[in-house]
Structures are given as structure tokens and as C-alpha cells.
């Protein structure tokens, strides 16, 4: 059973930079969009990052519990 997820950017600057990528490198932008779509439709696709490998600063700064 596939589980759907939500893709969120950690801050507005990152989201704006990603959107600008669509103007400067459309092919790369579309590849990333496809990957994000795959992840959103099936959160178990790809590889999980082991919790002990998530940098502690990311956990604190972005309140993460998984990647």
C-alpha cells in the first residue's frame, strides 16, 4: 500500500530559488519536480536516511524527525 506525503520547503528563500530554476534550467527543474511528485505519491520510494545520520542541527533548526 502506498502512502501519500506532503512536500514542504524549509523556508521561503529555498522555494523561490527552486521556482527560479524553472527559468534558468527547465530540464533540471522538471527532473526535480518528477522526483518530488514520486515522493509525494509514495513516501516509501527511494532510500530512507538513518536517523543517526541526520545532522543534529537540521533536527533542531527544522524540527525534523525523519528524512
pLDDT in tens, 5-38: 788 888 899 999 999 999 999 999 999 999 999 9
43 burial level (CB within 10 Å; 0-12, 13-18, 19+): middle
Give the contacts of 37 (CB within 8 A, at least 6 positions apart). none
- Structural domain count of the chain: 1
DSSP 53: G
Indicate whether 47 belongs to any domain.
yes
Domain that holds residue 52: 12-62
Indicate whether 2 belongs to any domain.
no
Indicate whether 6 belongs to any domain.
no
Q: How far apart are CA 19 and CA 53, in angstroms?
A: 29
Q: For residue 18, what pLDDT is reported?
A: 93
pLDDT in tens, 35-63: 999 988 988 888 888 888 989 998 898 88
DSSP 60: H
Amino acid at each position: 500500500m502506498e502512502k501519500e506525503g506532503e512536500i514542504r520547503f524549509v523556508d521561503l528563500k529555498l522555494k523561490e530559488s527552486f521556482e527560479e530554476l524553472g527559468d534558468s534550467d527547465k530540464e533540471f527543474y522538471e527532473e526535480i519536480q518528477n522526483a518530488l511528485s514520486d515522493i509525494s505519491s509514495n513516501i516509501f520510494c527511494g532510500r530512507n536516511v538513518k536517523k543517526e545520520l541526520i545532522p543534529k542541527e537540521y533536527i533542531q533548526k527544522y524540527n525534523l524527525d525523519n528524512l
